Amino acid sequence: MAKNLLIVESPSKAKTLKKYLGKDYDVKSSVGHIRDLPPKNLGIDIENNFEPTYQTIRGKGKIIKKLKSAAQKSQRIYLGTDPDREGEAIAWHIAQILNGKNAKEINRVLFHEITKSGVKNGLANPHSIDDNLVNAQQARRILDRIVGYQVSPFLWKTLYRGLSAGRVQSVALRIIVEREREIEAFVPDEYWSLHAHLEGKNSGAFVADLHKVDGDNPEIGSEESVNEIISTLNERDFVVDSIKKKTVSRKPYPPYTTSTLQQDAAYKLGFSPKKTMSLAQRLYEGVDVGGETVGLITYMRTDSTRLANEALAGSRDAVKRWAGDKYLPKSPRKYASKKSQVQDAHEAIRPTQWNLPPAKVKGQLPRDHFKLYTLIWYRLLGSQMSTAKYARTTIDISAGDEYKFRCSGSILKFDGYLKAYKQMPNGYGEDKDSEVPENIEEDEVLSLKELQPEQHFTKPPAHYNESSLIKELDNQGIGRPSTYSQIITTLYDREYVKRDGKHLLPTELGFTVNDVLVKHFPKIFNTRFTAQMEDELDKIEEGKDQWVDVVQDFYKPFKKSLDAVQSKSKDIKKSLQEDTGEKCEKCGREMVIKWGRNGKFLACSGFPECKNTKPLEEIDGPEETDEKCEKCGSTMVIKSGRYGRFMACSNYPDCKNTKPIPLGMKCPEDGGEIVERQSRKGKIFYGCSNYPDCKFAVWDKPVDHGCPNCEAEFLVQKNTKSKGEFLKCVNCKAEMSMDILEERASEGSE
């Protein structure tokens, strides 16, 4: 019988720890939380200091029974759940269910890395459960429950049942919606730049840009203005004012925090926050390397850029072995944290095994695990490497007293930390060399070859993507990095936001829900207020505030806002309806547009006396096609439903025949029709009409044009920021210009 019982929350973590600890330890898993607030009611006694009612999570009864049985057989009990608020709360709940009449001493232990030394250090330093951490988690859970359970029903009354609001989720939605409205309202301004093509007596041709006009930045708003300047400059001498050369140093970024890891993984690897955290969890808990289960990174939920002394020594040694002494600074790099002391409790995300660089584990890790590990490894190594050195030259040129031109460029002289960044998947966007002319002297008169004006237009703010949204949430202090994954997932699941490529776009439902919440709860769903609440939760964790006081301070203004809108819910619902001017064919009253579970629809304004409803398309009539219904012979029309566009019989409701929209191309796998479909999250894709028997599917729209390089019968149309629109073969991967479609069209017209 094992003398010690160690309980963790994850089965894979338990498996790794068991291999390290041997027969003296029985390692069990709680499989996450074992108790929570009840799923079907508020579970909080608001009148009694917000006392929560916890109950066993459905399906966890057998696990609790096993934990109690193992505890009775052990002399000592250790709780090794994750070292954060959530982990502390899980440990507290486990301790609660184990504390019976003959309760044994329960010790809390922390594993910041699942390695032999990390586990040994954790078990050697047991302590009691941190009540401040538990209270901070409990306060967050109660706040989120109050908002979710009391605001969501308001949305049900004003829109339709099944919608949800969240204390942080709804603020994230507000950020996305407000950015989209900025983009929609943006009016571009015209401006011009001016480039002078010059040549020196002993140098080749080069380009200098108009830099100053009368000492100020140039503001050229029209072609007429730039032509006037060109006319003046054509009569001027271009004289070299100064040539300045200096060495510019660039320092590396700090090691990863949870937020910066999610941002980089989204930007560089295309991983969703949810996927990144799942992969990181596995790398932390242990993966099979050479037949041994090894925890490859430290705990992945952290706001800190701090490294322990042992980590600094290990990383410097790894840099020296890999890159050599010249890449190693004289002393370790230490990064100041902008976060509170509480948020700085853990180290940054870093490797734990300095003898296992990516090259050694390649082929042993699954592909995506390897990519993320490589990212973490070289970001950490780079953080402890020498600065990169650039030789920067700036040449200032006068064309009279008022016009100043500048030519500048940098050449990389020593790559320093960039040597590590170049090993990361997809590179790291490092600067390319930009040379300037040599053999030019001060006061030299240059030859003007050409003045080239260039028209520009100001651009709207960029759409948020997952990476930039996480960065914005982190910068504003909204939520915590450990919650970002769930926030974004919830926005997708509720169909408030959809992905268009990498862009996050609010749906019509997302716009509507946001407008209702912001209008009627302006102080609650506010970025500054939400960030202040995060600060309050940190103070609870630090022991500076009582959790009941923090929740009470939140609840008072919240309840006031809630009471004010509850009585107006019918009026608010009515204000969201849209008039159509169309008469109900059953009672003669006006038909209005309402919201329902499947989107907008037409309904009689006389409801509930008249319950006439019909699809929204019937206002203008559905789009007709050339196809006939194979069941009744009527014309097939295109309609829109909850899962996107589809073809339906125009003789509905007498004939209810429907089918996906065909593209007029055959499936390359079984000869079925390629049809347009929509995923559960609203993204359009194209698949075989014989699904599920045929699983063929592509995200990019197929084009009816055979590949000129192989036997493929169609190409797909792609659009990227770097290449614009182009065609690609899914078979041989060849890429080609869109021009081949125009060529075929012109051939057909001939």
Which residues, other chains included, contact 236 with Cβ-Cβ below 8 Å and sequence gap of 6+? 399, 400, 403
* Gap between the Cα atoms of 231 and 252, Å rounded: 46
CA 568, 569, 571, 575 dihedral sign is positive
Copy the structure tokens of residue 459: 């651009």
- Among residues 364, 355, 365, the alpha carbon closest in space to that of 279 is found at 365
Only one residue has tokens 């030789």, namely 391
C-alpha distance from residue 34 to each of 8, 64, 92, 583 (Å): 12, 8, 10, 56
Only one residue has tokens 């030859």, namely 447
Instruction: Let me know: does 24 contact 2? Beta carbons within 8 Å.
Output: yes
* Gap between the Cα atoms of 626 and 322, Å rounded: 66
C-alpha distance from residue 270 to each of 58, 503, 635 (Å): 35, 12, 43
Instruction: Let me know: does 496 contact 509? Beta carbons within 8 Å.
Output: yes
Residues facing 294 on adjacent strands:
287
Only one residue has tokens 């007029």, namely 664
Burial 689-715 (b: 16+ CB within 10 A, else e): bbeeeeebeeebbbbebebeeeebebb
Residues facing 395 on adjacent strands:
243, 407
Instruction: Let me know: does 248 contact 410? Beta carbons within 8 Å.
Output: yes
Only one residue has tokens 């170049």, namely 422
* Gap between the Cα atoms of 98 and 81, Å rounded: 15
CA 599, 602, 605, 610 dihedral sign is negative
Angle between helices 116-124 and 11-21 (to 10 degrees): 90
* Gap between the Cα atoms of 517 and 166, Å rounded: 10
- Among residues 83, 144, 182, the alpha carbon closest in space to that of 479 is found at 144
Active site residues: 299
Copy the structure tokens of residue 219: 């503001």
